[in-house]
Amino acid sequence: MPNKPIIRSRRKINDTGIFRIEEIDLEFDNGNTRRYQRLLGSPQGAVMVVPLLDHETLLLIREYCAGMDQYELGFVKGRIENGEEPLDAAVREMQEETGYAAKRLEWVKSVTLAPGYLFHQTHIVLARDLYPKPLPGDEPEPIEVVPWKLDQLDSLLKRDDFTEARSIAAFHLVKELLASENRK
Residue ranges per structural domain of the chain: 6-40, 46-183
Percent helix / strand / coil, the chain, rounded to 5:
20, 45, 30
Q: Report the pLDDT value the prediction gives residue 137, as an integer from 0 to 100.
A: 87
Q: Where are the beta strands (DSSP E) in the chain?
A: 6-15, 20-27, 33-40, 46-54, 57-65, 70-74, 76-79, 100-112, 118-119, 121-132, 144-149
For the chain, residues with pLDDT lower than 50 are none
Rg (CA), the chain: 19
Distances 130 to 17, 40, 58 between C-alpha atoms, Å? 33, 33, 10
Q: What is the DSSP letter of 161?
A: T
List residues bridging with 49 in a β-sheet.
Answer: 76, 125
**7: alpha, beta or left? (left if phi > 0; alpha if psi -120 to 50):** beta
| Prediction pTM value | 0.91
pLDDT for res 138:
85
Chain segment 92-142, per-residue pLDDT in tens: 999 999 999 999 999 999 999 899 889 999 999 999 999 999 999 888 898
Superfamily (CATH) of domain 46-183: Nucleoside Triphosphate Pyrophosphohydrolase (3.90.79.10)
Q: Which of 44, 50, 122, 124 is nearest to 80 (CA)?
A: 44
pLDDT of residue 182: 85
Confidence (pLDDT) at 93: 97
